[in-house]
Each structure stands twice: as structure tokens, then as C-alpha cells.
Amino acid sequence: MTELKNDRFLRALLREPVDVTPVWMMRQAGRYLPEYRATRAKAGSFLDLCKNPELACEVTIQPLDRYPLDAAILFSDILTIPDAMGLGLFFETGEGPRFERPVRTLTDIDRLGVPDIEDELGYVTEAVRVIRRELDGRVPLIGFSGSPWTLATYMVEGGSSKDFAKVKGLMFDEPAAMHKLLGVVADTVTAYLNAQIAAGAQAVMIFDTWGGALTPRDYQAFSLDYMARIVAGLKREAEGRRVPVILFTKGGSNWLERMAGAGADALGLDWTIDIGEARRRVGERVALQGNMDPCILYASPPRIREEVADILAAWGEGPGHVFNLGHGIHPHIDPENVGEFVRAVHELSAPYHH
Amino acid sequence: MTELKNDRFLRALLREPVDVTPVWMMRQAGRYLPEYRATRAKAGSFLDLCKNPELACEVTIQPLDRYPLDAAILFSDILTIPDAMGLGLFFETGEGPRFERPVRTLTDIDRLGVPDIEDELGYVTEAVRVIRRELDGRVPLIGFSGSPWTLATYMVEGGSSKDFAKVKGLMFDEPAAMHKLLGVVADTVTAYLNAQIAAGAQAVMIFDTWGGALTPRDYQAFSLDYMARIVAGLKREAEGRRVPVILFTKGGSNWLERMAGAGADALGLDWTIDIGEARRRVGERVALQGNMDPCILYASPPRIREEVADILAAWGEGPGHVFNLGHGIHPHIDPENVGEFVRAVHELSAPYHH
């Protein structure tokens, strides 16, 4: 493998010194970029794009050609896993994701098994290989998966949900069935992330988009415990380097201390917590990634710069911070503003690293 | 005025001893009740129902006729205020609320003024008077309003929003304009709640549904400070009794300590925090209202009872707890389950009060 030319993202995740604070954006390969929209149009549907390793590689690299970002993230979707488990993912125009065969009963759950990753998700590992080749050591490549709880919400609801009525009904009334479902999903996520690591992912991130919809007790039992089990099952070293793991629960700032004990190297933060306070709460246990409100990117470049400065000041000195948005970038952001954001992180963070 | 036959809700909000923990539900006059759906059909639209004091009274009292709830809450909508300010509220079938004339520019904001409450919102104060007469002292009546920040999100976005792009763009780039908007809304909310109190509301609640979408810094400046200003301007006594004020920010458990200092008597909690932990954090400063996950009501009656027991145990002994859901009751809940919930709160809380 080619030597990594920019490893400040990996170093920051391991709380090692860096020259400037590394920065990337969740959903950086996305609709705000005209070149993404062009490739997407060429691919056909969103799912066609996910399943085409060459085109997935193309959109993964597009933001790196525009901005000096410090990491690439595999272009894919968290719902590839339930699709590979036989639920039949599809997207209706103007609607969110849907499943042809949602999981509702214990019989449905009993029927699920851990799919063969190369057979069912080979297009993902192939995309990882193609992207690594094309990146040629520019920056590290992040692999990712949804968390078992988050995936289960889609699997049981049959798509997106506002109130999680069905999945929480199952969780409250049939906890054993819910644990069985989460167990098989967790085993699949573990195999899936390990396959991404084997294919060349240099860090992995688990997205727990809906963990924040749970009570603290249910979050522990139905989301965090399964993420900890996945982390414990991951190959944490590849190509002679540690493969850092990042956990991100949107709306999870209430229970950061517990997340810090789950075995991951870093936690992602949304913008509902001051990053200085988060740092004090987790101490030396993990690095932190975040946490600018994505809506700041609607503002003017000077305002964006000011916000970056505020977050850098809240973190202060010392390693362990990866700059990011607190959630994915929105589709209607002006790409010029993103340029100002990335530039501001590198320029304004330099004085904090010496 | 008739003497109040059941004042345990008001007593709990003031942290005074009670015989059992009082309980009510946000959105208790709602679509889960067939009798509500019947009245709503008779009224015409949702807005027609809000604007008809006799029918608003009918739906306000319906849940009390089914369940031994300890408070009634005025049937209305938080968007009556922007409607009264001239924005032209309407509802499209299958869609959320919309405004004909959203507020986008400084000129739009300059044009806004505090409306005359009796002229523009007389149907609300009239509903309060009718409900008080019909309640005849059974339980106290809660008046309410949306928070300035929450109302501003609808006013600027022109309706519901997922990402608050426009209102946050205004906040970040034109903070002075945003403060001007929030100021006139806060003055309107103050006058509106005082008019509800003058008409007979015995407690008032401010719903900050979208405060949790802000950073801690922006929450303070653009939401909490305006709620504190409203609280400071309220008539806190009527009919020889204190009129307690409840603040509720959904997603606000990160900054409970600061909310506890805003001058309210009680804070509403969503379900993302353990109520025992919340109690330790706010100390003796405020009562707490909450905080069962509304999805528990999809579960079986024994499971509902178990959850009630858990929350009562987490609170423990001592006054200052009003039982509620952590958000409004969902439309598809079985009314039988609500009966079990209310019964469980009264039965299982008795041993904690002696």
C-alpha cells in the first residue's frame, strides 16, 4: 500500500500531536456539490450509485478535489446491511428509504442471519479497494456502518419514522425478540466493518442516528451495549497501524461519559453541547469529533470563520480534536462556504498546535 | 369562582405536599380519543376547532370525563400568535401548518407589532372562560404558549422545518433582526399569557419545542433569555393563589441548570434524561414535570405500569413531581392504555407521599 501523505486525521483520533486540526464533513460527498449531482444523474438512482464501485469512488473523491479535507469517507448508505439481510431496500421518489419486507414478528427475526459479506456486500468492499487505489495515500479512508439500534428502527418501521412506534412497541413488549434482532444485526455490522478494514478502510465510524430517541436506560441496553460489542469484535490494526473507531450518537450528549467507556477511540458530537464541556466530561479517555451546527454554512463567510474560531477556542490546546459538523452537510449549502469553513479550520487552528 | 376540588397539580408545581403524584398528558385532548375526532369532524378544520370556544371547551374536557387527570389544558395551537400577528395561518390537507405571509426580511420584521389580544385572540380568552365555567373547579386549567424561538422558526420558515435553514441563517447573519423579531414575539407571548391568566388560567406552560435544535450558546441568547423575559412579565397571582409557570424545552436536558434559573416554578422534561438525575441537577429550585417516553403507551398495560413504577422510583420521595409524558401523546394510542397509565400513577405513587 502507498504511504499515507496526510495522517493528521488518524493521529488526532489517537490523541497524538498534529500540525493543524484535521477536518472533514459528514456527507461531504453529497448533493451540495454540482459534480455529485452530475455523477448521481449518470448513475441512475441513489442505490445504483451506492452499488457501483467506480461511481462510488468518483463521488467519494470529488470533495477532496475541491477542498483540502483530511479524510475521505466511503460513499455508501447505512441501509446496505438490511438490504443484504434480505429486506429489499428501495427508494420511492420524493420519499425516504423503504423496505419491501420489514421485520415485524419473532418469525421474521428468526429468519434473519448474518449474510456473507463478500456475496451480498461485495460492492462495498470493492468500492473501498477502488477508492484506496484512487486516493493513492492522499488522506485516510473512513469506513462506516449504522448502529444496530438505528438499523433496527428502519428494519422494523419499514422505512423512516418520526415516532418509532413499531420498533419501540417491539422493544417494550418483546425485549427478548428485540435483543435477538439487535444481536444478529450487531454480528453483521462487525463482519461488515471488518471486511471494510480488510479491504482498506483506515478508520471506521458507527452512526447511531436514532440512539437519541431513547431513554438513558434503553439507550444503554438497546444501543450502546451493541455498539460496544461491535467495537470489541473489530480488527483494530491494519497495514501496521491502529484503525481508530469513532462512535456517533446524534442527541447523545447526555450520556457521553458512558459512551467514552464503550471501547472506541473517539466520539462524534452533535452541536447541542459545548465541545469544551464535552472534553472535560470525557477526560483523556477518547478523542472528540465535531461539532459545528451545519446551519452555520448558510451564513456569510466571516460568520463561518467566527464560529470555527469559537469552537477551536472552546476545545483549547492539546491533541484529540477532529473538526467536523455536528451532522451531515445540507443539500442547499453553497460550496464556496464549505471552502471558507475548511480553510478557517486549518488556518485558525495552527496557533493551538505547537 | 368555584373552589378548586383537586389542587394537587398546583401544589406539586410549588413543591408542596400532595396525597398522590398528579398526572396529565401533553396533547391529552387529541386524536387518540374517538370523541375528539367526532368533535373535530363537527367543527370542520383543526383551526375552526381552535377558534370555536364552545367546541374547544368540549375537547378540553373530554379526557377528564374518561380519566381522573389532575389538570386540564386549554385546547389551542401555538401558532395562534403568529396568526394574530397577521401571518395568515392555514393548514393544507396532509401537510403541517403553513403561513401565507412568512417573515423573511428586516422590513417584514419591522412591520410586526404586538397585536391587541382581545381583538385578535379573543377566541382564546373566551375559551378559557368557558372551560373554567364548565370545569366548575374539578381540576385547574393550564394556559399555554409557544416560546418566542419556537414561534419564530415557523414564522421565518413559513411552516414546519426539518433543518431550520432560513431561521438559523437569519439568526447567524442578522442577529439584530432576529432579536427584534424575538422581542416583539416575547412581548406578545407575555400579553397573551397574562390575558389567559386574567381569563382564568391557573397555571401556564411555555412550549419550546425547537429550542433543542440550538447550540448551548444560541439556546441561551435566542430562546432561554426570551422565556426568562416572559416569565418576569407574567402576573403570578390570581384568585388569591400563585399561578405557576412551567418551561418545557424538548431536547433541553443538557442545560437544565440554566433553565432552572429562568424564574419558572417548574421545568418539563422529555424522556432522554433520568428524572432522578434531573432532580439532583436542579436541586430545590424548581419542580419537574415528566417524563415517560410516549411510546410506552404502545406497550401492554403491565409494561406501562412497570414504567410508571420505574419513574416514580427514580424520583423517590418528596414533593415537586408532576407526572406527564415526555412529549405529546401520539394519535394511534389505545385509550385503554391511557387509563392504565393514569391509574398506575395514582396507585403506585401513594406510598411515596406520607
**B226 labelled catalytic:** no
Q: How confident is the model at residue B229 (pLDDT cuts 50, 70, 90)?
A: very high
Q: What is the pLDDT of residue A64?
A: 98
- How many Cα atoms sit within 13 Å of B36 on the Cβ side? 22
Q: Within an 8 Å CB–CB cutoff, is residue B273 touching chain A?
A: yes
Q: Are A292 and A25 in contact (CB under 8 A)?
A: no
Amino acid at B166: K
CB contact under 8 A, B272 and A214: yes
Each residue of B79-98: pLDDT tens digit?
Answer: 999 999 999 999 887 778 99
Of B128, B136, B124, B149, which is closest to residue B201 (Cα–Cα)? B128
Q: Within an 8 Å CB–CB cutoff, is residue A294 touching chain B?
A: yes
Share of chain B above pLDDT 90, in %: 96
pLDDT at residue A89 above 80? Answer: yes
Closest-CA residue of chain B to A305: B172
CB contact under 8 A, A165 and B332: yes
Q: What is the C-alpha to C-alpha distance for residues B62 and B57, in angstroms, rounded to an integer?
A: 9
Task: Read off the C-alpha cell for A131.
Answer: 477508492
Q: Within an 8 Å CB–CB cutoff, is residue B91 touching chain A?
A: no
Q: What is the C-alpha to C-alpha distance for residues A309 and A316, in angstroms, rounded to an integer?
A: 10
Q: Which CATH architecture has domain B8-352?
A: Alpha-Beta Barrel (3.20)
- Tell me how far the alpha carbon of residue B147 is from its chain's centroid: 10
Q: What is the C-alpha to C-alpha distance for residues B135 and B141, in angstroms, rounded to an integer?
A: 8
Each residue of B171-213: pLDDT tens digit?
Answer: 999 999 999 999 999 999 999 999 999 999 999 999 999 999 9
Q: What is the pLDDT of residue B162?
A: 87
Q: Within an 8 Å CB–CB cutoff, is residue A242 touching chain B?
A: no
Closest-CA residue of chain B to A211: B272
Q: What is the C-alpha to C-alpha distance for residues B93 and B88, in angstroms, rounded to an integer?
A: 16
Q: Within an 8 Å CB–CB cutoff, is residue B328 touching chain A?
A: no
- Facing A163 at nearest CB: one of B168, B295, B296: B295
Q: Are B291 and B23 in contact (CB under 8 A)?
A: no
Which single residue is written with the C-alpha cell 375526532? B37
Q: Within an 8 Å CB–CB cutoff, is residue A173 touching chain B?
A: yes
Q: Please list the residues that pair with A323 across neighbouring strands.
A: A23, A290
Pick the residue with more confidence: A2 or B286? B286
Task: Read off the C-alpha cell for B76.
Answer: 389551542
The values of phi and psi at residue B88, to 5°, are 75, 75
Please state, rounded to an integer, the average pLDDT across all residues of chain B. Answer: 97
Q: What is the C-alpha to C-alpha distance for residues A171 and B295, in angstroms, rounded to an integer?
A: 10
Q: Which of B8, B15, B40, B138 is catalytic?
A: B40
Rounded alpha-carbon distances, angstroms, from residue A146 to A76, A96, B125, B144: 11, 16, 49, 39
**Segments making up each domain of chain A, as ranges:** 25-288
Q: Within an 8 Å CB–CB cutoff, is residue A313 touching chain B?
A: no
Look at phi and psi of residue A171 and say left if phi exceeds 0, alpha if psi is from -120 to 50, else beta: alpha
Of B280, B184, B289, B276, which is closest to residue B247 (Cα–Cα)? B289
**B27 labelled catalytic:** yes
Please state, rounded to an integer, the average pLDDT across all residues of chain A. Answer: 97
DSSP state at residue A159: B
Alpha-carbon distance B255 to nearest alpha carbon in chain A (angstroms)? 9
Q: Within an 8 Å CB–CB cutoff, is residue B212 touching chain A?
A: yes
- Facing A173 at nearest CB: one of B164, B299, B332: B299
Helices (H), A27-105: 34-43, 46-50, 53-66, 80-82
CB contact under 8 A, A216 and B295: no
Q: Are A115 and A148 in contact (CB under 8 A)?
A: no
Q: Helix, strand, or coil here: A43?
A: helix
Residues of B in contact with A215 (CB under 8 A): 271-272, 274, 293
Per-residue b or e along A306-334, where b marks 16 or more CB atoms closer than 10 Å to that residue's CB? ebbebbbebbeeebbbbbbbbbbbbeebe
B295, B297, B305, B310, best to mutate vs chain A, most A CBs in 10 Å = B295
Task: Read off the C-alpha cell for B20.
Answer: 398522590
ipTM for this model: 0.94
Strand-pair category, B141-146 with B241-242 = unpaired
- Tell me how far the alpha carbon of residue A11 is from its chain's centroid: 18
Q: Are A40 and A46 in contact (CB under 8 A)?
A: yes
**B83 labelled catalytic:** no
Q: What is the pLDDT of residue A229?
A: 98
Q: Please list the residues that pair with B145 across neighbouring strands.
A: B206
The values of phi and psi at residue A268, to 5°, are -85, 145
Task: Read off the C-alpha cell for A307.
Answer: 464560529
- How many Cα atoms sit within 13 Å of B161 on the Cβ side? 22
DSSP characters for A285-350? Answer: S-EEEEEE-GGGGGS-HHHHHHHHHHHHHHH-SSS-EEEEESSPPPTT--HHHHHHHHHHHHHHHG
Q: What is the pLDDT of residue A132?
A: 98
Q: Helix, strand, or coil here: B10?
A: helix
Amino acid at A311: I
Size of the A and B interface in Cβ pairs below 8 Å: 88
Residues of B in contact with A302 (CB under 8 A): none
Q: Are A304 and A344 in contact (CB under 8 A)?
A: yes
Q: Are A229 and A147 in contact (CB under 8 A)?
A: no
Closest-CA residue of chain B to A333: B165
Which single residue is written with the C-alpha cell 444523474? A41
- Facing B272 at nearest CB: one of A254, A274, A293: A254
Q: What is the C-alpha to C-alpha distance for residues A342 and A350, in angstroms, rounded to an integer?
A: 13
Closest-CA residue of chain B to A293: B215
Q: Within an 8 Å CB–CB cutoff, is residue B172 touching chain A?
A: yes
Q: What is the C-alpha to C-alpha distance for residues B281 and A303, in angstroms, rounded to an integer?
A: 34
Q: What is the pLDDT of residue A244?
A: 98
Q: How confident is the model at residue A1 (pLDDT cuts 50, 70, 90)?
A: low
Q: What is the pLDDT of residue B1?
A: 61
Q: Within an 8 Å CB–CB cutoff, is residue B243 touching chain A?
A: no
Which single residue is written with the C-alpha cell 393514569? B342
Q: What is the pLDDT of residue A31?
A: 96
Q: Within an 8 Å CB–CB cutoff, is residue B350 touching chain A?
A: no
Q: Within an 8 Å CB–CB cutoff, is residue A162 touching chain B?
A: no
Q: Helix, strand, or coil here: B111?
A: coil
Q: Within an 8 Å CB–CB cutoff, is residue B280 touching chain A?
A: no
Q: How confident is the model at residue B146 (pLDDT cuts 50, 70, 90)?
A: very high
Q: What is the pLDDT of residue B61?
A: 98
Share of chain A above pLDDT 70, in %: 100
Residues of A in contact with B277 (CB under 8 A): 216
Q: What is the C-alpha to C-alpha distance for residues A268 and B74, in angstroms, rounded to an integer?
A: 41
Look at phi and psi of residue A94 and say left if phi exceeds 0, alpha if psi is from -120 to 50, else beta: left
Arithmetic mean of pLDDT, B218-239: 98
Residues of A in contact with B218 (CB under 8 A): 293
Residues of B in contact with A216 (CB under 8 A): 272-274, 277
Residues of A in contact with B271 (CB under 8 A): 215
pLDDT at residue B214 above 80? Answer: yes
Residues of A in contact with B214 (CB under 8 A): 272, 293
**B132 labelled catalytic:** no
Closest-CA residue of chain A to B165: A295
CB contact under 8 A, A169 and B215: no
pLDDT at residue B106 above 70? Answer: yes
Q: Within an 8 Å CB–CB cutoff, is residue B165 touching chain A?
A: yes
Task: Read off the C-alpha cell for A316.
Answer: 483549547
- How many Cα atoms sit within 13 Å of B204 on the Cβ side? 32
Q: What is the C-alpha to C-alpha distance for residues B324 and B270, in angstroms, rounded to an integer?
A: 9
Strands lying side by side in the sheet with B321-325: B72-73, B141-146, B203-208, B245-249, B266-268, B287-292, B321-325
Residues of B in contact with A296 (CB under 8 A): 168, 172
Closest-CA residue of chain B to A292: B215
The values of phi and psi at residue B46, to 5°, are -60, -40
CB contact under 8 A, B216 and A272: yes
Alpha-carbon distance A271 to nearest alpha carbon in chain B (angstroms)? 5
Q: Within an 8 Å CB–CB cutoff, is residue A305 touching chain B?
A: no
Taking CA B275 as the corner, what is the angle to CA A270 and CA B4, rounded to the nearest 5 degrees? 125
Q: Which of A8, A11, A40, A279 is catalytic?
A: A40
Q: Which of A7, A77, A218, A265 is catalytic?
A: A77
Q: Please list the residues that pair with A207 across neighbouring strands.
A: A146, A248
Q: What is the C-alpha to C-alpha distance for residues A14 and A8, in angstroms, rounded to an integer?
A: 10
DSSP state at residue B100: S
- Facing B164 at nearest CB: one of A217, A251, A295: A295
CB contact under 8 A, B172 and A272: no
pLDDT at residue B6 above 80? Answer: yes
Q: What is the pLDDT of residue A354?
A: 83
Which single residue is written with the C-alpha cell 427584534? B180
Q: What is the C-alpha to C-alpha distance for residues A201 and A142, in angstroms, rounded to an integer?
A: 6
Q: What is the C-alpha to C-alpha distance for residues A185 and A133, in angstroms, rounded to an integer?
A: 30
Q: What is the C-alpha to C-alpha distance for residues B107 and A29, in angstroms, rounded to an integer?
A: 37
> If residue B82 lies in a helix (H) or strand (E), which one and from where to where?
helix B80-82
> If residue B97 lies in a helix (H) or strand (E), which one and from where to where?
strand B97-99
Q: Are A267 and A289 in contact (CB under 8 A)?
A: yes
Each residue of A267-315: pLDDT tens digit?
Answer: 999 999 999 999 999 999 999 999 999 999 999 999 999 999 999 999 9
Q: Which CATH number fits domain A25-288: 2.40.240.10, 2.30.30.30, 3.40.50.300, 3.20.20.210?
A: 3.20.20.210
Q: Can you give the pTM of this predicted structure?
A: 0.96
What's the maximum distance between 2 C-alpha atoms anywhere in chain B? 59
Q: What is the C-alpha to C-alpha distance for residues A137 and B350, in angstroms, rounded to an integer?
A: 67
Q: What is the C-alpha to C-alpha distance for residues A341 and A343, in angstroms, rounded to an integer?
A: 5
What lies within 8 Å, CB to CB, of B222 at 6+ separation is B149, B171, B178, B179, B182, B214
Alpha-carbon distance A16 to nearest alpha carbon in chain B (angstroms)? 28
Each residue of A155-185: pLDDT tens digit?
Answer: 999 999 989 999 999 999 999 999 999 999 9
Q: Are A101 and A90 in contact (CB under 8 A)?
A: no
**A32 labelled catalytic:** no
